[in-house]
Structure 1
Amino acid sequence: MTDRAVRVDARLDAPLSRWLWLIKWLLLIPHYIVLAFLWIAFIAITVVAFFAILFTGRYPRGLFGFNVGVLRWTWRVGYYGYGALGTDRYPPFTLKDVPDYPARLQIAYPQRLSRGLVLVKWWLLAIPHYLVLALFTGVGLSGVTSDDGSWSVTFPGLVDLLVVLAAVALLFTARYPGGIFEFVMGMNRWVLRVAAYAALMTDRYPPFRLDMGDAEPDEPTDPTPPWTGGRSARTLMPSNGGV
């Protein structure tokens, strides 16, 4: 594992089915049900971790491992499904890392976390990233009309649009366009980095960088922002392996 907090890798499987993507929503229903409960637990654990970090500067390792597993499970389902359509191999029902699965996520366990940053990084510091992610993943708007009616509208994100294009290409050519895959991977990688940061799992600020391609690139620069007090990424995230 390279010296970075979050590592997102994926392998584009070939050949991919021309038509399987049409029913993946149906095949994934069991995963969606399980993930609904896992994400309830994820949120509750993040609240517990918030107070643990605030008072001790540490994220309880057992809770950290569980939340990494939830993100890992979510990434595998998204990669198989409509977050990428990058594989036809059905996702396993496990929180553990599956080394031979085409989509993998690893997050390095932090020995120490800033007790001050935990108060602001998940909302204030992450706001610029949330704006970018709204472009990637889409946004929904709702409101109330003057006659007490309600309305809502959902705008698809770039990931949705590109995955639709990839699905159409698969249907007619049985090939996933390489350029679309790289762009989709870059946006998913950005989303997962921000998710880990907002979930208090790292103090390392996500880079404003679209790292495209299947493999996680080497880190060109230290993206640690000035509000960390000048501590390096190595100080915040010791290189002790991934969870």
Structure 2
Amino acid sequence: MPEYPVKYDVPYPEKSNPWLVLARLFFGWLYIGIPHGIYMGLYGIAAFFVIIYAGLVILFTGNYHRKAFDYLVRYQRYVNRVQAYWLCMVDKYPPFSGWE
């Protein structure tokens, strides 16, 4: 079976900070949910319009517009980082971008 073109790699944490996990359980909505929720919502609205634009470009030209593709990759990367932190898979607070 050929390998899927998207790879999601999260290293297994040998040791997690228990206090950080406790803080996320009780206060995660405050310091993750509110700032990243607002940012992700605005970023997501823009991504929605980029998806429509990219779909129309693909429909009429048969090619994916490179800047639209890069924008959506950054958006997906950002969402995955926030989710990995929220789900206690990583201890590093996610940045407000999708850049590596």
Report the TM range for the smaller structure's normalisation: 0.7 to 0.9
AA partner of residue 31 (structure 2): L
**Matches of 1:209 and 1:109, distance apart in 2:** 23
Deviation at 1:130, TM superposition (A): 1.6
Deviation at 1:136, TM superposition (A): 2.4
**Matches of 2:84 and 2:11, distance apart in 1:** 10
Q: Which structure shows the higher helix fraction?
A: 2
Partner of residue 203, structure 1: 91
Partner of residue 161, structure 1: 49
The percentage of counterpart residues that share the same residue type is 33
Partner of residue 31, structure 2: 125
**Matches of 2:67 and 2:30, distance apart in 1:** 34
Deviation at 1:128, TM superposition (A): 1.4
SS at the partner of 2:9? strand
TM score, norm. by length of structure 2: 0.85
AA partner of residue 119 (structure 1): L
Gaps of 5+ in 1: 1-97, 138-156, 212-216, 218-243
Partner of residue 5, structure 2: 102
Q: Which runs of 4+ in 1 moved over 4 A?
A: none
**Matches of 2:2 and 2:90, distance apart in 1:** 23
Gaps of 5+ in 2: none
Deviation at 1:210, TM superposition (A): 3.1
After superposition, residues 205-224 of structure 1 pair within 5 angstroms as 205-211=93-99, 217=100
AA partner of residue 7 (structure 2): R
**Matches of 1:167 and 1:102, distance apart in 2:** 19
**Matches of 1:198 and 1:131, distance apart in 2:** 15
AA partner of residue 100 (structure 1): E
Partner of residue 60, structure 1: none
TM score, norm. by length of structure 1: 0.37
String of CA shifts for 1:47-85, please: whole Å, max 9, x gaps: xxxxxxxxxxxxxxxxxxxxxxxxxxxxxxxxxxxxxxx
**Matches of 2:59 and 2:31, distance apart in 1:** 42
Residues 104 and 115 of structure 1: is their aligned pair in 2 closer, same or farther, counting only changes over 3 Å?
same
**Matches of 2:35 and 2:53, distance apart in 1:** 28
Partner of residue 90, structure 1: none
Residues 131 and 99 of structure 1: is their aligned pair in 2 closer, same or farther, counting only changes over 3 Å?
farther
Deviation at 1:191, TM superposition (A): 0.3
SS at the partner of 1:190? helix
Equivalenced residue count is: 96
After superposition, residues 68-217 of structure 1 pair within 5 angstroms as 100-121=3-24, 122-126=28-32, 127-137=34-44, 157-211=45-99, 217=100
Answer yes or no: is the 8 Å Cα contact 2:76–2:98 preserved in 1.
no
